[in-house]
Homo-oligomer: A and B are copies of this chain.
Amino acid sequence: MSNNDNSVNMTAPSRGYHHGDLRAALLDAGLDLLKSGSAETLSLREVARRVGVSPTAVYRHFPDKAALLKELCIRGALELAQAQAQAMRAAGGGRKGFAATGGAYIRYALANPVLFRIMMANMPPGGFFSSDFSDDQVGIKMLRDNIKSLIPDKAGEEGVLFGMLMSWAQVHGLSMLMLDGHIPVSEDTIKAFESSRLEFRFVPDQPSE
């Protein structure tokens, strides 16, 4: 949505200034480039070029490249979270639903390799916990709720946190290793993962073997 609207489409909507809504256009173009995956790295100038504006126009709307990237990160993260939420609904919730969110995570990464990579590397610290994701069925909160409902109560808050870490790390690791070409990219593997059951159990640290 909203990618072909270079200059012709967007002229009218609000009384506009120069170029319609350049800020939004830049974000759209940026997301578009990242999703097309053509370039391994996003160039500020390329974004400007795409929108048909001079390179430095970008700086009227973003202090620097990192700021643009940051916003694109958030867009990507929202999209990812939505994909996960939808997968969860489609799977009917519960343990299967949770597994489906994991599968959706990996599939999103594979479908948007450049975006995903940049998103993860440039998301501001704690970005995934930001209030942008306060929506009930989105992101970290979804993960937390799932873990909470799927592990024994006695695990406690610490157990919930540990479960979150481990689950997230699991799908994130699979995603990254696949993206980087270190393990085969295979829908079968993803399916196997989805229908496997992970357990993380604390083992008291004993000196004896």
List residues of A whose CB falls within 8 A of some B CB: 92, 94-96, 117, 120-121, 123, 125-128, 162, 165-166, 168-174, 176-177, 180-183, 189, 192-193, 195-205, 209
Say how many copies of this protein the assembly contains. Answer: 2
Candidates B169, B177, B197, B202; contact of A192 at CB < 8 Å: B202
**Do A168 and B177 touch across chains, with their CB atoms under 8 A apart?**
yes
| A135 → B minimal CB distance (Å) | 19
Given known contacts A128-B182, A170-B166, A182-B128, is B192 in contact with A203 (CB within 8 Å)?
A: no
Chain B contacts for A200, CB-based, 8 A: 196-199
**Do B199 and A203 touch across chains, with their CB atoms under 8 A apart?**
no
Given known contacts A197-B203, A202-B192, is B171 in contact with A123 (CB within 8 Å)?
A: no
| A155 → B minimal CB distance (Å) | 12
For A180, give the chain B residue with the smallest CB separation. Answer: B120
Given known contacts A196-B201, A198-B199, is B121 in contact with A180 (CB within 8 Å)?
A: yes
Candidates B172, B174, B196; contact of A177 at CB < 8 Å: B172
**Do A195 and B199 touch across chains, with their CB atoms under 8 A apart?**
no
| A100 → B minimal CB distance (Å) | 12
**Do A176 and B174 touch across chains, with their CB atoms under 8 A apart?**
no
**Do B172 and A176 touch across chains, with their CB atoms under 8 A apart?**
yes
Chain B contacts for A168, CB-based, 8 A: 173, 177, 183
Chain B contacts for A202, CB-based, 8 A: 192, 195-197
| A39 → B minimal CB distance (Å) | 15
| A175 → B minimal CB distance (Å) | 8
The 10 closest A-B pairs by CB, nearest first: A173-B173, A169-B173, A172-B173, A125-B181, A169-B174, A199-B199, A197-B203, A197-B201, A195-B205, A196-B200
